[in-house]
Amino acid sequence: MDAVLENFPDVLHAFGYTVLLFLVSGVLSVVGGTLLVAMRVGPIPVLAKLGSTYVILVRNTPLLMVFFFFTFAGPKIGIKFNFVDVHIGSFDFTAFFAGAVVSLTVYTSAFVCEALRSGVNAVSLGQAEAARAIGLPFSGVMTQVVLPQAFRASVPPVASTLIALLKNTSVAAVFGVIEATSQMKIMTNNHADERWGIFLAFAIGYVILVELVSLLAASFERRWRIA
């Protein structure tokens, strides 16, 4: 544990990257997942097909391979994030951070889509029928009646997805972002005799973050529960 205490600022900084990766890709994934679910349940067959193909492909690809594509294949066809060069305090947001956010978002959106779809399915038939009866078009049915309820009903599965995202930010360690897992790897190699302590310290860090997200989700669920 000494190594952790001595390098505590580094540890916190690394967890800072973890949290930032989580927040940015989390928001983008919810947006992406919502668009995808609208495509999947919408009236245009081509888009529905596109949405479901996307979900099937991404869900069955390891996140690591998604990162691989955006890190090595993307640049060859002009998908580069080199323009990202923002520095706030001691945090650098460069191509590596942007690449990680994009990979995580592309991956997590598919899972958010599925979680939301289960929420849409949980909204009772009469709701949509009533909405249509008063003359709302598909966009109105979705944005004013179905999705607001679907979001509420899908808080637990979306929370699961976001918790998975929080843990998945660790894959960015393989692709140039010094977030918590990367920092742990560096520290366990510099202090080989303290491996157990270092592992435990970082594991507890993740547990705390996961519990925070989970508690937040639980309180949302209580507040939004459909009567």
Partner 1 sequence: MRFIRTKAIVAATGLALSLAACGDAGNDSKSVDVDVAKDAKFDTGSRMAALADQGTINVGVKFDQPGLGFMETGADLPQGFDVDMAKLLVASLGIDPNDTSKVKYVETISDNREPFLESGKVDIVAASYSITDERRAVVGQAGPYMVTGQQLLVPEDSDAEGPEDLKGKEVCSVTGSTSLDNAKEQGMKPVGFDTYSQCVDKVLDGTVEAMTTDGTILLGYAAQNEGKLKVVGDAFSEERIGVGYSKDSPEMCQWIVDTLTKAEEDGKWADAFDANLGGSGAETPDFPEMDTCS
Partner 2 sequence: MTASTVLFDAPGPKARARHRTYSVVALVLIVAVLGYVVYRLADAGQFAYALWEPFVTTRYLEAILWAWWDTITMAVLAVLGALVFGLLFGTGKLSDRATIRRISWLVVEFFRAVPVIMLMIFSFYAIFDSMSIERGAYWSVVLALTVYNGAVLAEVFRAGVNALPKGQAEAAYAIGLRKTQVMNIILLPQAVKIMIPAIISQMVVAVKDTSLILIVFAIGLTKIAKQLPLSFNNIVPTAIVIAALYIITNLALTAIANWAQRRFVGEKEILTIAPVGQDAMSL
Which of these, 221, 37, 21, 57, lies nearest to 113 by C-alpha position? 37
Spatial CB neighbours of 168, under 8 Å, sequence gap ≥ 6: 63, 104, 107, 108
State the minimum distance, in angstroms, from the CB of residue 9 to partner 1.
16
Exactly one of 64, 82, 86, 225 binds partner 2 (CB under 8 A); that residue is 64
Residue 226, SS3?
coil
Smallest distance from partner 2 to CB 32, Å = 16
92 binds, among partner 1, partner 2, none (CB under 5 to 8 A by kind): partner 1
Query: Beta 86-88 vs 91-93: how paired, if at all?
Result: antiparallel
Site string for partner 2, 80-119 (x = CB under 8 A): ----------------------------------------
Instruction: Tell which one of 48, 52, 96, 197 touches partner 1 (CB under 8 A).
Output: 96
CB 13 within 8 A of CB 208: no
User: Which pair of structure tokens corresponds to residue 205?
Assistant: 């860090």
- Smaller CB distance to partner 1: residue 112 or 198? 198
Taking the least distance from each CB to partner 2, the nearer of 31 and 56 is 56
Cβ 138 vs Cβ 43: under 8 Å: yes
**DSSP 8-state code for residue 179:** -
Segment 147-206, which members bind partner 1 (CB under 8 A)? 174-176, 182, 189, 192
16 binds, among partner 1, partner 2, none (CB under 5 to 8 A by kind): none
